[in-house]
Amino acid sequence: MYDRRIVYADNAASSFPKPQCVIRAVVNSLKRNAANPGRSGHVLSVDAARTVYEARCAAGEFFDCDENGIIFTQNATHALNILIMGALCPGDHVLISDMEHNSVLRPLTALKQRGTVTFDVVSTDGDYVLGFERAIRPNTRMIICTHASNVTGRLFDVARIASVAKRRGVLFAVDASQSAGYADLRMRRDHIDFLCTAGHKGLLAPQGSGILAINCEVPVSPLTYGGTGTESLSALQPPTLPEALEAGTLCTPAIAGLKAALGYLMHSHSELQARERRLIGGFIDGLSQIDGVRIYEPAAERVPTVSFNLKGYDSEQVASMLDRSGICVRGGWHCSALAHGALGTAGVGAVRVSFGPFNTEADARRILKCIRDIKKI
Amino acid sequence: MSKMNKCILVRSVTYAQKARRLLEQNNIKSTVCKQLRASRYGCAWCVIVDESLQGRALDILGRGGVMMTGDVYYV
């Protein structure tokens, strides 16, 4: 059971706890039909395949994308790697924001080092939509932008960026790892070609789940080749989505949990979003009243995440002291070299507090008290 | 199975599930099944429908975007 003596405020890393319906779905899957979906022809395999398909349909409805374009991955990093390694061609140029996670920066850097792809980083300081448009070159093939920063929580206007991309004939990919489940994202409505997200953060699903959603006809080469459950006599990977990008056994229990989580969110989304918005707003107000605290992008529209530093302390020090008081947050650099570079925190990192649907105002007050207590030491 | 049923081969288990759902929405009962006959594909998936509904089923599946292999046979 979730120990209420611990305040878990690290939902940007992984959401915790999970809704009871998600836990039940995972346990039921493990107990009843966690056979290999889409491999054997027996009743349990077919039943597992049906669970996976229903999860695909739920994800398609959630993100406004055809279910055949829903590719299940292990996590968002996996989804982004499939996209970046599979959709880009030699000679392509890519634009990314200065808030991208290393799961965007590192595969692109690897391709750049191989001499196949180039990329530029667009500042999110000021009119970044104009910044993206001005940075487009004749060979710009894709813009990748995070919907929300995993460091500051700031939300970006991906619909406007998508509009520029569409007008200029450039593909547009959104990293929705921090926003899925909180902010409204509809691929067809917003002209988003690709969407990558984790299942285990705002979507409240288990670790081991992620999604690459494809809303265009651009071919994506597989990252992993192997068994797909069809055309087994062929040495070639079958090209049909989604299986073409899902070689190997899927994590049926995690996908069952994802299906339950999507149902939970579709039912409760507005109420949860309103509550989390109030929570983070109140927390930032309280944080701003503590001397020596510097908050990063305090006025931005955001997901329920904020990062700060406490004067005179390293970020990991603060996180460690909060941990001793039963507060779970993340200090350091959040796997985001670009963001910390842009914020000027590359030398110190930051302390990130990220709320989820099960955090309360009492949690927020307790964190603030513990921060004030650190200052008294 | 009786010879009154037809097996419609599709491109993947996902399309098999999609086919079953589309047919169900159109009041056609079907069963998702692994292809029983050995074929040039190796492993393959199909939906099984009553022979009398084959034409209608193929029409529904085609319009619904289900990728089929083109193979249909008795089961």
Q: A234–B13: do the CB atoms touch at under 8 Å? A: no
Which of A109, A116, A108 lies closest to A92 in space, CA to CA?
Answer: A116
Q: What is the pLDDT of residue B4?
A: 86
pLDDT at B55 over 50: yes
Domains of chain A by start residue, with CATH: 7-18+269-376 (3.90.1150.10), 20-264 (3.40.640.10)
**Among chain A residues, CA nearest to B46:** A41
Query: What pLDDT, on the 0 to 100 scale, is given for residue A266?
Result: 95
Which value does ipTM take for this structure?
A: 0.84
**Quick one: pLDDT at residue A3?**
66
A222: which residues sit within 8 A by CB, 6+ positions away? A82, A86, A237, A244, A245, A247
In contact, A49 and A42? CB cutoff 8 Å: no
The Cβ of residue A221 has, within 10 Å, a number of other Cβ atoms equal to 15
Pairwise CB contact (< 8 Å): B13 & A243: yes
CATH of the domain at B17: 3.30.70.1530
Establish, for the pair of chains A and B, how many residue pairs have beta carbons separated by less than 8 Å: 70
- Structural domain including B69 reads 5-74
pLDDT at B3: 59
- From chain B, the residues in CB contact with A68 under 8 A are 14-15, 18, 65
Chain B residues with beta carbon closer than 8 angstroms to that of A57: 21
Task: Report how many domains make up chain B.
Answer: 1
The residue in chain A having the minimum alpha-carbon distance to the alpha carbon of residue B12 is A230
Contact A200, A75 (CB under 8 A): yes
- Other CB atoms within 10 Å distance of the CB of residue A347: 7
Q: For residue B39, is pLDDT > 50? A: yes
pLDDT in tens, chain A (377 residues): 566 689 999 999 999 999 999 999 999 999 998 899 989 999 999 999 999 999 999 999 999 999 999 999 999 999 999 999 999 999 999 999 999 999 999 999 999 999 999 999 999 999 999 999 999 999 999 999 999 999 999 999 999 999 999 999 999 999 999 999 999 999 999 999 999 999 999 999 999 999 999 999 999 999 999 999 988 989 999 999 999 999 999 999 999 999 999 999 999 999 999 999 999 999 999 999 999 999 999 999 999 999 999 999 999 999 999 999 999 999 999 999 999 999 999 999 999 999 999 999 999 999 999 999 998 87
Structure tokens at A25: 């779905």
Task: Answer whether B34 touches A (CB < 8 Å).
Answer: yes
Comparing C-alpha atoms, which of A222, A35, A251, A223 is closest to residue B34? A35
Chain B CB contacts of A243 below 8 Å? 12-14
CB contact under 8 A, A231 and B18: no
A chain contacts of residue B16, beta-carbon cutoff 8 Å: 49
